[in-house]
Chain A
Amino acid sequence: MLEIHNLHASVEGKEILRGIDLTIGDGEVHALMGPNGSGKSTLCNVLVGNPAYVVTEGSVSFNGKDLLALPPEDRSHEGLFMSFQAPIEIPGVSMVNFMRAAINAKRKYEGLEPISGGDFLKLMKEKREIVELDASLTRRSVNEGFSGGEKKRNEIFQMAMLEPKLAILDETDSGLDVDALRIVVDGFNKIRKEDTSAIVITHYQRMLDYLRPDTVHVLMDGQIVETGDAELGYRIEREGFDFLR
């Protein structure tokens, strides 16, 4: 699914990622852990093509395609989705228009006609129910006035709409109470197909319990310093990162 080789990236001239190698197979879930500021979000942003981050070295291949050569919208069409750590608000752009634009852009990329009004509303309703997102929220502007938890749930709703091949969840669990987290994770598990892969950034055991990652990586100072199975995650939860320094 994804192969990252010797990836270096910088923000505002400062090097943040210092040689990342990472391979994710079809259907695998990888957890990414590491102290604040170690570069986890930077890695995700680089993968989805955020223009604020500059790749200085290395390569990324996504299902055989040169990911770094694609504009962000095509990376999305190819099946990459990121649930943002802090989803932004877009006042005045309704969830409906936003989602319709996203769905139709994807369909266009796939050579399909725009979705009909009726089918679109049906799709919205169906996916909304998966993440138990209140209908009143999809009538509002994108994330405007949503609580922290509602924003995260809205990210997963969008993921459900777009059915990605590789989902990146950047601290989607932060700020969610136990019930909300269960809804989000259950939603994610319902959306997942057998070959859907995921990169999950988390600080919490709960998330590891629910998602049961195949592999856990620890990122420090822009490098992967340790890779293991779920047990590595539990040890970090107990002991912190000190034993890796």
Chain B
Amino acid sequence: MDHSCGLLNGQRDRGMEDFARQGLPSRKQERYKYAHVAEDFAPDYGLNLRRLIFKVDPYRAYRCSVPNMGTNLYYMINDIFYTSPFATPELPEGVFVGSLRTFALQHEELLADYYAKLARTEVDAITALNTAYAQDGLLVYVPAGVRVKPTLQVVNMVRGDVDILTHRRTLVIVGDEAEANLLFCDHTVDNGTFLTTNVSEVYVGKNSRVNWYALEETSASNRLYDNLYVSQEEGSHVEFATITLRNGTSRHRSDFILKGKGSDARIMGAVVAADEECVDHNLLVVHEGEACKSNVLYKYVLDGRSVGAFAGKVMVKPSGQHADSQETNANLCVSPTAHMYTQPMLEIYADDVKCNHGSTVGQLDQTALFYMAQRGISPEESRLLLQHAFVNEVIQQIQLVPLRERLSQMIEQRFRYGNNGCGNCSLCK
């Protein structure tokens, strides 16, 4: 493909072959058992192969609802990095945030050991498909020893005048003793049917820290297949949170490999779903290094006819002695027609470990609702307070304080105004 680059083109054939061999994943596959891949891929989507640039200036047309956090703001429209006509935010020496393709055309050698290495095409058909077709995406490159303090906020906008299929790629390389804070906000602009595959590879160097927050506020006809692969070196820290406030169908595969000794990952998910929304998280945490720590907490509030799925496996390899892992999935079905499938799993091949896992599915606490009613609080407000409190437990663990507070407010607004309106994002006036 002429509009891409050698780095991406070099993996294309392999992706194509692996995809052809596997076909679209069926529900018989463990990691896709709650997804309806064939249905989601059925519409006749357009592919933007010729790299037409949409005539939109996101900096003017659109204000994300997580504003004023002093972040460095970037936009991706479908899979194209949008270059601001204004000054791009200043970054420390050697740090790159921008088009994967642009960087790869100049410094392919810096990326060759990373691109399409964690994201193995032979075991995941969606990753194979993405690798076969991805032409561009986002690269965040932080060399060793550099700590990028401001949050890098990337607004992913999906738009198109026709139904569109986008294959987006994200590559994040954080060297040793380095740091990056990333916030992804996923939005849809038009109301077409969109299907996006997003494959992210994240390399976290020795003693480094990566905080990764992803917020989805899309629309009912949006379909997202999001595969994330994280690899952590010795002594590294990752804080990861995925928050779904509005969407259509979203299926996330998230793999965390705790490779290096003493690395730790705090992995969080908050899902607020209603109507016909579907949110499926398929998580794998592998303790490969010695004395690694993982803490997984996912909470869902499901209303309407929404469907939630959580399958999370923590695997401790024989090399992962002294693993310390806690995995919790707690869910509230607030309507009788909402459904939750939950399956936390442990697979342990080491003998000296401390691992716990558990899940619950419950309804709103009637006693609490009555207590609040006795104090005069309306049923609607009481429900809101209880649901907000339930999800907020996840949000309160986020280290980035301004984001934590903003998210807490956004979740409240989501409960207060449902799927039809939101706080201050200019999309839904």
Interfacial residues, chain A to chain B (CB-CB below 8 A): 48-52, 71-73, 75-77, 81-82, 84, 87-88, 90-93, 97-98, 101-102, 105-106, 109, 141, 158, 162
Q: Are A92 and B375 in contact (CB under 8 A)?
A: no
Provided the pairs A91-B389, A92-B393, A105-B381 are in contact, do residues A98 and B376 lie with their beta carbons within 8 angstroms? Answer: no
Q: Which 5 A-B pairs have the closest CB atoms?
A: A92-B389, A76-B376, A72-B373, A102-B375, A105-B376
A72 CA / B366 CA spacing, docked (Å): 13
Q: Are B385 and A50 in contact (CB under 8 A)?
A: no
Question: Interface 1/0s, chain B 357-395, versus A by CB < 8 A?
Answer: 000000001111011111111110110011011101100
* A84 contact from B365, B371, B378, Cβ within 8 A: B371
A56 CA / B234 CA spacing, docked (Å): 69
Q: Are A93 and B385 in contact (CB under 8 A)?
A: yes
Give A115 Cβ to nearest chain B Cβ, in Å: 13
A48 CA / B370 CA spacing, docked (Å): 10
B residues 23-48 in Cβ contact with A at 8 Å: none
A85 CA / B382 CA spacing, docked (Å): 21
Chain B residues closer than 8 Å to A51, beta-carbon distance = 366, 370
Q: How many residues of B contact A (CB 8 A)?
A: 23
Q: Are B371 and A73 in contact (CB under 8 A)?
A: no
A72 CA / B370 CA spacing, docked (Å): 8
Q: Are A73 and B370 in contact (CB under 8 A)?
A: no
Chain A residues closer than 8 Å to B382, beta-carbon distance = 101
A49 CA / B373 CA spacing, docked (Å): 9
Chain B residues closer than 8 Å to A102, beta-carbon distance = 372, 375-377
Give B110 Cβ to nearest chain A Cβ, in Å: 46
Q: Are B371 and A90 in contact (CB under 8 A)?
A: yes
Question: Interface 1/0s, chain B 386-411, versus A by CB < 8 A?
Answer: 10111011000000000000000000
Chain B residues closer than 8 Å to A162, beta-carbon distance = 375-376
Chain A residues closer than 8 Å to B386, beta-carbon distance = 90, 92-93
Chain A residues closer than 8 Å to B389, beta-carbon distance = 90-93, 141
* A48 contact from B372, B374, B378, Cβ within 8 A: B374
Question: Which single residue of chain B is at the shortest CB-CB distance from A108?
Answer: B378
Question: Can you list 20 pairs linking A and B with CB atoms under 8 Å apart?
Answer: A48-B374, A50-B370, A52-B366, A71-B373, A72-B370, A72-B374, A73-B374, A73-B378, A77-B376, A84-B371, A88-B371, A91-B393, A92-B388, A92-B389, A92-B392, A93-B389, A102-B375, A105-B381, A106-B376, A158-B375
| Residue among A91, A97, A101, A102 with the highest chain B CB neighbour number at 10 A | A101
Q: Are A98 and B392 in contact (CB under 8 A)?
A: no
Chain B residues closer than 8 Å to A158, beta-carbon distance = 375
| Residue among A84, A87, A141 with the highest chain B CB neighbour number at 10 A | A84
Q: Are B385 and A98 in contact (CB under 8 A)?
A: yes
Question: Which single residue of chain B is at the shortest CB-CB distance from A83?
Answer: B374
Provided the pairs A92-B389, A93-B389 are in contact, do residues A105 and B370 lie with their beta carbons within 8 angstroms? Answer: no
| Residue among B374, B381, B389 with the highest chain A CB neighbour number at 10 A | B374
Chain A residues closer than 8 Å to B385, beta-carbon distance = 90, 93, 97-98, 101
Q: Are A76 and B371 in contact (CB under 8 A)?
A: no
Chain A residues closer than 8 Å to B370, beta-carbon distance = 50-52, 72
Give B395 Cβ to nearest chain A Cβ, in Å: 10
Give B362 Cβ to nearest chain A Cβ, in Å: 13
Give B420 Cβ to nearest chain A Cβ, in Å: 22
| Residue among A49, A52, A92 with the highest chain B CB neighbour number at 10 A | A92
Chain B residues closer than 8 Å to A71, beta-carbon distance = 373
Q: Are A101 and B374 in contact (CB under 8 A)?
A: no
Q: Are B379 and A73 in contact (CB under 8 A)?
A: yes
Q: Are B368 and A101 in contact (CB under 8 A)?
A: no
A22 CA / B121 CA spacing, docked (Å): 77
Q: Are A76 and B368 in contact (CB under 8 A)?
A: no
Q: Are A76 and B381 in contact (CB under 8 A)?
A: no
Question: Which single residue of chain A is at the shortest CB-CB distance from B367?
Answer: A88
A231 CA / B386 CA spacing, docked (Å): 46
Question: Which single residue of chain B is at the shortest CB-CB distance from A105?
Answer: B376
Chain B residues closer than 8 Å to A72, beta-carbon distance = 370, 373-374
Give A181 Cβ to nearest chain B Cβ, in Å: 23
Chain B residues closer than 8 Å to A81, beta-carbon distance = 374
Give A94 Cβ to nearest chain B Cβ, in Å: 8
Chain A residues closer than 8 Å to B368, beta-carbon distance = 88, 90, 93
Chain A residues closer than 8 Å to B376, beta-carbon distance = 73, 76-77, 102, 105-106, 109, 162
* A105 contact from B371, B377, B393, Cβ within 8 A: B377
Chain A residues closer than 8 Å to B381, beta-carbon distance = 101, 105
Chain B residues closer than 8 Å to A90, beta-carbon distance = 365, 368, 371-372, 385-386, 389
Provided the pairs A92-B389, A101-B385, A105-B381 are in contact, do residues A76 and B374 lie with their beta carbons within 8 angstroms? Answer: yes
A88 CA / B393 CA spacing, docked (Å): 19
A34 CA / B373 CA spacing, docked (Å): 28
Give A34 Cβ to nearest chain B Cβ, in Å: 22
Give A106 Cβ to nearest chain B Cβ, in Å: 5
A158 CA / B370 CA spacing, docked (Å): 15
Chain A residues closer than 8 Å to B367, beta-carbon distance = 88
Chain B residues closer than 8 Å to A109, beta-carbon distance = 376
* B375 contact from A49, A50, A76, A91, Cβ within 8 A: A76
Q: Are A101 and B377 in contact (CB under 8 A)?
A: yes
A81 CA / B371 CA spacing, docked (Å): 11
Question: Which single residue of chain B is at the shortest CB-CB distance from A81?
Answer: B374
Question: Interface 1/0s, chain B 338-358, versus A by CB < 8 A?
Answer: 000000000000000000000
Contacts beyond the supplied A84-B374, A88-B367: 12 A-B pairs with Cβ under 8 Å: A50-B374, A76-B373, A76-B374, A76-B376, A82-B374, A90-B368, A90-B385, A92-B392, A92-B393, A93-B386, A162-B375, A162-B376
A50 CA / B371 CA spacing, docked (Å): 9
B residues 313-354 in Cβ contact with A at 8 Å: none
Give B268 Cβ to nearest chain A Cβ, in Å: 15
Q: Are B374 and A98 in contact (CB under 8 A)?
A: no
A87 CA / B390 CA spacing, docked (Å): 20
